[in-house]
């Protein structure tokens, strides 16, 4: 695989996009929004797939990671996602890291019913009524939503799972507590399972504990209650026990396993499509079937990676099955229209078949010129490669 205008009154763009050395992602911006519900500014970082561009047709799952201000854990989490995305274990997503000022972190994760200064309910409205709509409108996010929280935000993200049980695809709650004054999230999650006997998509709940006595106690309560509960078929939960790990290292031990579990069906469908090279059914039909399964699992048609389509095309090409290679690359061009090499490879296969290839080559050159996917140097190199087909 080769490689706003201002957001009207609410958004202040403070840094340009750069890749941070990631394979699949680039940092789009550090920015902030003045929350109507909280009454103050909330800062966040937006990280997008490298192929992202404003106004694009395709959309991405949204992952919100709390405690962006914790550089060590946040960077490790992003590196883990980049690693899993690069190897096809999870899809490319839009990742928003939300920061919390240390003076506000406690009230932001405390519910009003437990403490007079609690802002948890307002913080929840900020996320669902301000940040998520913003992500949908400006960062090409679809309805898939995953929350990741640690410690106090582990509690808060679990509260949000209960509050938005039919809206969320999953929550990864790391070293949380579940009980506070007038609040018992163990009961709340169990009640939500009873309230929603069916769901049009799967819901994933991953939670972990470390060596904190309070975390361990609440973890046992949640684990035992969920093990005994009558769980709907759509609900998938898994608890991770790291009793010898400190409270501060559990994010690094939890995130990779949790993402692997959550996106395993997407990865399975992706690999089945990649390895199915039989000619009985067209790739278009196979892909449509796979996307139907993905939609039933995740609520959205989440496309496979560029590498899957491209790799399949090259499998066919190297076996001399040029017409099937063309179909695979045409499908790639439909799903990722800014990946200009699709048209170059189509032209190459057409030349091998002794078919006219000039139209595909011209489309490649025009697409390459406007594509945001490539650097100037890469564009120049690819242009030379394309023009060599005429020799």
What is the pLDDT, as a whole number, of residue 279? 78
Task: For 105, list phi and psi in degrees, rounded to 5.
Answer: -60, -40
Question: Residue 104: is its pLDDT beyond 80?
Answer: yes
How do the domains of the chain map onto residue ranges?
25-262, 281-390
Write down the pTM of the prediction: 0.91
| Tokens at 280, concatenated | 């009985």
Interacting residues of 258 by C-beta distance below 8 A, sequence separation 6+:
172, 206, 208, 238, 240
**What's domain 25-262's architecture?**
3-Layer(aba) Sandwich (3.40)
Beta bridge pairs of residue 11: 33
Contact 220, 45 (CB under 8 A): no
Strands 25-34 and 94-98, by their bridges, are unpaired
If you average pLDDT over every residue of the chain, what do you get?
A: 91
What is the pLDDT, as a whole number, of residue 214? 64
| Tokens at 44, concatenated | 């966040």
What is the pLDDT, as a whole number, of residue 55? 80
Q: Which residue has the tokens 């009873």?
A: 194
User: In which element (H, E) is residue 237 found?
Assistant: strand 235-241
C-alpha 340: how far from chain center: 24
Confidence of residue 51 (pLDDT cuts 50, 70, 90): confident
**What's domain 281-390's architecture?**
Alpha Horseshoe (1.25)
Confidence of residue 57 (pLDDT cuts 50, 70, 90): confident
User: DSSP for 322-334?
Assistant: HHHHHHHHHHHHH
What is the pLDDT, as a whole number, of residue 119? 98
Question: Residue 61: is its pLDDT beyond 70?
Answer: yes
């Amino acid at each position: 695989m080769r490689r706003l205008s201002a957001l009207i009154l609410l958004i202040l763009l403070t840094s340009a996009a750069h890749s941070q050395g990631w394979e699949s992602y680039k940092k789009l911006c550090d920015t902030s929004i003045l929350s109507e519900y909280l009454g103050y500014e909330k800062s966040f970082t937006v990280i997008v797939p490298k192929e992202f561009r404003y106004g694009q047709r395709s959309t991405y799952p949204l992952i919100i990671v709390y405690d962006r201000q914790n550089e060590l854990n946040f960077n490790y989490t992003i590196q883990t996602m980049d690693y899993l995305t690069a190897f096809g274990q999870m899809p490319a997503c839009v990742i928003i890291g939300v920061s919390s000022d240390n003076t506000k972190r406690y009230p932001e994760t405390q519910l009003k019913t437990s403490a007079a200064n609690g802002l948890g309910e307002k913080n929840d409205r900020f996320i669902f009524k301000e940040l998520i709509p913003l992500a949908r409108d400006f960062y090409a996010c679809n309805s898939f939503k995953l929350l990741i929280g640690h410690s106090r935000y582990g509690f808060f993200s679990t509260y949000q799972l209960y509050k938005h049980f039919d809206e969320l695809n999953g929550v990864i709650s790391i070293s949380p507590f579940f009980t506070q004054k007038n609040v018992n999230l163990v009961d709340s999650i169990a009640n939500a399972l009873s309230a929603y006997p069916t769901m049009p998509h799967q819901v994933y709940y991953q939670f972990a504990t470390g060596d904190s006595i309070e975390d361990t106690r609440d973890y046992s309560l949640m684990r035992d209650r969920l093990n005994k509960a009558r769980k709907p078929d759509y609900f998938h939960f898994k608890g991770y026990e790291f009793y010898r790990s400190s409270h501060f290292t559990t994010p690094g031990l939890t995130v990779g396993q949790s993402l692997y579990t959550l996106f395993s069906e997407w990865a399975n469908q992706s690999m089945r499509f990649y390895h199915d090279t039989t000619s009985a059914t067209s790739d278009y039909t196979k892909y449509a079937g796979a996307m139907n399964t993905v939609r039933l699992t995740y609520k959205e048609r989440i496309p496979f990676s560029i590498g899957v389509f491209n790799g399949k095309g090259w499998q066919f090409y190297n076996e001399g099955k040029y017409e099937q290679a063309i179909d695979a690359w045409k499908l790639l061009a439909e799903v990722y229209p800014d990946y200009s090499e699709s048209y170059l490879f189509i032209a190459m296969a057409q030349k091998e078949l002794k078919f006219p290839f000039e139209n595909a080559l011209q489309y490649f050159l025009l697409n390459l010129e406007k594509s945001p996917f490539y650097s100037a140097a890469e564009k120049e190199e690819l242009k030379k490669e394309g023009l060599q087909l005429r020799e």
